[in-house]
Amino acid sequence: MDIKDIIKPENLVYQKTPLMTDKPLSYCPGCGHGTAHRILMEVIEEMGIQSETIGVAPVGCSVLAYDFMNVDMVGASHGRAPAVATGIKRCWPEKFVYTYQGDGDLAAIGTAETIHACNRGENITIIFINNGIYGMTGGQMAPTTLKGMKTSTSPYGRDIETMGNPLKMTELVAQLPGTCYVTRQSVHSPRNVRRAKKAIRTAFESQKGKKGTSLVEIVSNCNSGWKLEPVAANDWMVENMFPFFPLGDIKVDGKLVNNQ
Amino acid sequence: MKELKLMKGNEAAAEGAIRAGADGYFGYPITPQSEVMEYLMAEQPEKRTGMVVLQAESELAAINMVYGAASTGKKAMTSSSSPGISLMQEGISYLAGAELPCLILNVVRGGPGLGTIQPSQADYFQSTKGGGHGDYRLIVLAPSSVQEMFDFAFLGFDLAFKYRNPVLMLSDGLIGQMMEKVELREQLPRTTYFDRSWTLTGKPDGQERNIVTSLDLDASRQEVHNQHLQEKYRKCQANEVRYELLNTEDAEYLFVAYGSSARICQKAIQLGREEGIKIGLLRPITLWPYPAKPLAELAPGMKGILSVEQSAGQMVEDVRLSVGCGVHIEHFGRMGGMIPTPEEVLENLKKLLITK
Ligand SMILES: Cc1ncc(C[n+]2csc(CCOP(=O)(O)OP(=O)(O)O)c2C)c(N)n1
Ligand code: SF4
Ligand SMILES: [Mg+2]
């Protein structure tokens, strides 16, 4: 049997969205970035808004996101993606504009831009990949690094007294009236991938409805930075990251969920 | 009929931006240029032309908003004064690297540090030699009147889009704050056509998407990109040098001065000529590309050249580079927000170039 006999339209159960380019992903095997890219692109495909979408790539492991996401994209400087997105959206209010940012990008160097874009209620969608570490630069401590967690700049574990507490940016921006939909998801299991995708859809729908800023945090792994194999990294994430960064909606339709 | 108006320099720049068809202004307050955003907010250009005005949370955010808007082909502008412009340098380098057009106005104040709020010209090095990282150039326009604050918004956007490069209007607290008569131009329409060869407007069906970035991790390609930038800068140098000559026909001494210093020199020339000292002025309008050639051509006929700047002597380096040896060149300047008087300038011309 030739491969062409197998690949027939009627046998097709799953297909890579054409909104992902054919370029091989540059991420480490097992990294959550790739899955997050895919579901984001699937949402844009399903909503039929590819020609109306402009994405903003960060500085971090996903700096080359525009190599993989087949939409018009701009690369921002480290942390400034929400400002770049603001500039685009203010001039093109009819376009869908999103940022895709890591925790160092969004919650350290870009804290001011994140908070103020959310506070102004910029009608954009922020996809926030929280892996508790600076993946790109080789595993340094991030604002979201857990207490006691070892990184290359906290080799004896994060010491709260001298290094501060891990920052829950998502809960923080949920307090701002400008945000409409704020949620925390993960992509480590098929069920979670489905939920995360639904969340991204909700975020883009709220952008469509001009409801204000929507932010989807995805708690993700960094097996290279954490120095764990992919499966062990996911287990570590479930055991250690989720208790501090609990999954679920934090704000829906402008209202905080569960007395957040 | 001419439309004449008495305006502050900062207001003229803001009105110029509106009439030049700007799509967006993003800024953060700082003296002595806050009137730019204040004027825009009061004027509500959104109602006049659809132009967006936003007060950003910082100059960092402002320049990156400009970067975002510019990446979509929109005419975007920011303004600030020295400390704020320093804060923008990373963003300006990104704009240059990604070849994005925009207009940046620096109404310079005295430095270094928080310095003072009075006028200065001490940001010349930062503006013309590359304030941020990497091998890049800005096209730098130096207005010396309120009229030019208005006109250079048009010229600035034209050059920015012609070369896909940031244009810096290097003004100072004196030109920004003083009031003069301005002849206003007619409103230009905002652009509705976007050049899909580089702008982001959303990937049209069946067409390639666009990417705007300054990143290329492949060193050999990054070098090619740099060579392309240098080629573009050479074109600018060949085609965009602008300057003005005053009383140079019979001059024996030459002032070289831009912006507010050029205005002070005009009066000093008059005073000097009353005493029989034949002085002329070369006023660079583009500080980059620098009018090196016209200056080199004038210089041999001069007994001496005085570069007059409100700085410790920054532009004088370009004067020396342009002219070379053989002509006596001196610098005179005040610093830290002090403005020289025409008498003081003439006094120093005599002291430095005549009596020696
Ligand atoms: C102004 C500036 N400072 C520092 C850096 C270096 N840098 C690049 S990526 C990065 C951290 C990225 O971490 P994160 O945002 O968490 O993304 P991840 O790689 O983990 O996905 C840093 C510090 C830079 N490029 N620019
Ligand atoms: S370093 Fe970490 S975040 Fe970066 S690609 Fe590898 S696993 Fe993913
Ligand atoms: Mg990270």
Which atom of ligand 1 lies at the shortest distance from residue A61's CA? 19
Q: What is the pLDDT of residue A182?
A: 98
The pLDDT tens digits of the residues spanning B78-112 come to 999 999 999 999 999 999 999 999 999 999 999 99
Average of per-residue pLDDT values in chain B: 97
Q: Tell me, what's the ipTM? A: 0.96
| Strand arrangement of the beta sheet that strand B76-80 belongs to | B52-55, B24-27, B76-80, B102-108, B166-172, B139-141, B286-288
Q: What is the pLDDT of residue B331?
A: 98
The answer to whether residue B356 scores a pLDDT higher than 70 is no
Residue B148 near residue B286, CB atoms below 8 Å: no
Q: What is the pLDDT of residue A149?
A: 98
Model confidence at B353, in pLDDT bands (50, 70, 90)?
very high
Q: What is the pLDDT of residue A10?
A: 83
- CA distances from residue B229 to A37, A76, B137, B140, B306 in whole angstroms, order as listed: 32, 20, 9, 16, 33
Query: B25 CB near a chain A CB, below 8 Å?
Result: no
The answer to whether residue A224 scores a pLDDT higher than 80 is yes
Rounded distance between C-alpha atoms, residue B106 and residue B119, angstroms: 11
Residues contacting ligand 2 via CB (< 6 Å): A 27-28, 31, 33, 61, 131, 135, 222-225
Residue A90 near residue B22, CB atoms below 8 Å: no
Quick check: B201 and A90 CB within 8 A?
A: no
Residues 6+ apart with CB under 8 A from B96: B132, B134, B136, B137, B138, B165, B166, B214, B229
The pLDDT tens digits of the residues spanning A123-138 come to 999 999 999 999 999 9
Model confidence at B293, in pLDDT bands (50, 70, 90)?
very high
List the CATH code of the domain at A31-131+144-256: 3.40.50.970
Model confidence at A9, in pLDDT bands (50, 70, 90)?
confident
Of B125, B38, B42, B51, nearest to B85 by C-alpha is B125
Total beta-carbon pairs less than 8 A apart between chain A and chain B: 127
Q: What is the pLDDT of residue A1?
A: 74
Give the whole-number percent of chain A exceeding pLDDT 70: 99
The answer to whether residue A6 scores a pLDDT higher than 80 is no
For residues B207, B212, B213, B214, the Cα torsion angle rounded to the nearest 10 degrees is: 110
SS3 assignment, position B174: helix
Rounded distance between C-alpha atoms, residue B343 and residue B356, angstroms: 18
Mean pLDDT score, B284-310: 98
Query: A118 CB near a chain B CB, below 8 Å?
Result: no
Higher local confidence (pLDDT), B242 or A258? B242
What does the DSSP assignment read for A64-89? GHHHHB-SEEEEPPTT-HHHHHHHHH
Quick check: B65 and A90 CB within 8 A?
A: yes
* CB of A217 sitting under 6 A from ligand 1: no
The answer to whether residue A185 scores a pLDDT higher than 90 is yes
- CA distances from residue B78 to A24, B14, B235 in whole angstroms, order as listed: 39, 10, 25
Q: What is the pLDDT of residue A43?
A: 98
Query: B24 CB near a chain A CB, below 8 Å?
Result: yes
Residue B52 near residue A90, CB atoms below 8 Å: yes
Q: What is the pLDDT of residue B1?
A: 82
Q: What is the pLDDT of residue A259?
A: 60
The answer to whether residue A260 scores a pLDDT higher than 60 is no
The pLDDT tens digits of the residues spanning B26-80 come to 999 999 999 999 999 999 999 999 999 999 999 999 999 999 999 999 999 999 9
Model confidence at A7, in pLDDT bands (50, 70, 90)?
confident
Buried/exposed code over A216-248 (b: 16+ C-beta within 10 A; e: otherwise): bbbbbbbbbbbebebeebbeebbebbeeebebe
The answer to whether residue A243 scores a pLDDT higher than 90 is yes
Structural domains of chain B sorted by starting position, each given as residue range(s) with its CATH number in brackets: 3-203+225-239 (3.40.50.970), 245-354 (3.40.50.920)
Which is it for strands B253-256 and B304-309: parallel, antiparallel or unpaired? parallel
Of B133, B66, B135, nearest to B103 by C-alpha is B66
Q: What is the pLDDT of residue B285?
A: 98
Write out residues 75-134 of B within 8 Å (CB-CB) of A. 76, 90-91, 94, 98
Model confidence at A4, in pLDDT bands (50, 70, 90)?
confident
Find tokens 């062409």 and name the residue: A4
The pLDDT tens digits of the residues spanning B336-350 come to 999 999 999 999 999
Q: What is the pLDDT of residue B68?
A: 98
Model confidence at A12, in pLDDT bands (50, 70, 90)?
confident
- CA distances from residue A145 to A21, A125, A148, B139 in whole angstroms, order as listed: 32, 24, 8, 43
Mean pLDDT score, A8-37: 93
The answer to whether residue A5 scores a pLDDT higher than 90 is no
Query: A163 CB near a chain B CB, below 8 Å?
Result: no
Give the whole-number percent of chain A exceeding pLDDT 90: 93
Cα B144–chain centre separation:
10
The answer to whether residue B141 scores a pLDDT higher than 80 is yes
* CB of A103 sitting under 6 A from ligand 1: yes
Find tokens 């140079």 and name the residue: B248
The answer to whether residue A46 scores a pLDDT higher than 90 is yes
Mean pLDDT score, A82-93: 98
Residue type, A160: I
The answer to whether residue A39 scores a pLDDT higher than 60 is yes
Quick check: B213 and A113 CB within 8 A?
A: no
Mean pLDDT score, A161-174: 98
Mutation site, B75, B213, B214, B221, interface A, largest A CB count within 10 A: B213
